[in-house]
Amino acid sequence: MIESTERVEQFKAEIAGMRLRDPAGGRDAQLLRAGVVGMLAGLIVTVVAYFGSHSATGAAQQDYIVVALIGVSLSVVGAAVFLRYSLAQFLRFWLARLIYEQQAQTDRIVGTAAPKSDGLGVANN
């Protein structure tokens, strides 16, 4: 039945070599949550450090500045992780929807404007 088994063997080898994620792991969801936590934690740390620096002087104040900078960095990284695992997914759906709507729109226009065809695109006059 099979004339060429080369592709089948290649497919078997590629499937065998696939690195599969544990479907129960939900890594994406965990990273999404980690992003939100990082963003909020960074914000809180920054605000606390800002007010703490008011009552501190000298080296202690410099420590508060460093802590505040770490907080800002944490917020930025958290926001980036959040965007990667939430908006990226949303944008993929948005793009798919856009393509689908374009296709539906073209179908409507073709249905209205094109002459009757014989099924192969040849007009029947």
CB of 61 to another protein, least distance (A): 50
* DSSP letter string, 27-88: HHHHHHHHHHHHHHHHHHHHHHHHHHHHT--HHHHHHHHHHHHHHHHHHHHHHHHHIIIIIH
Q: What is the CA radius of gyration of the chain?
A: 28
**125 part of the interface to another protein, by CB under 8 A:** no
- The candidate with the shortest Cα–Cα distance to 45, out of 79, 78, 83, 74, is 74
| Residue 71 identity | G
**1 part of the interface to another protein, by CB under 8 A:** yes
**59 part of the interface to another protein, by CB under 8 A:** no
Whose Cβ is closer to another protein: residue 20's or residue 59's?
A: 20
CA-to-CA distance for 71 and 61, rounded, in angstroms? 15
**111 part of the interface to another protein, by CB under 8 A:** no
CB of 83 to another protein, least distance (A): 20
**3 part of the interface to another protein, by CB under 8 A:** yes
Number of residues lying near another protein (CB under 8 A): 32
**117 part of the interface to another protein, by CB under 8 A:** yes
- Token couple for 105: 């729109």
User: Where along the sequence are the contacts to another protein (CB under 8 A)?
Assistant: 1-8, 10-12, 14-16, 18, 20-23, 99, 102-103, 106-107, 109-110, 114, 117-121
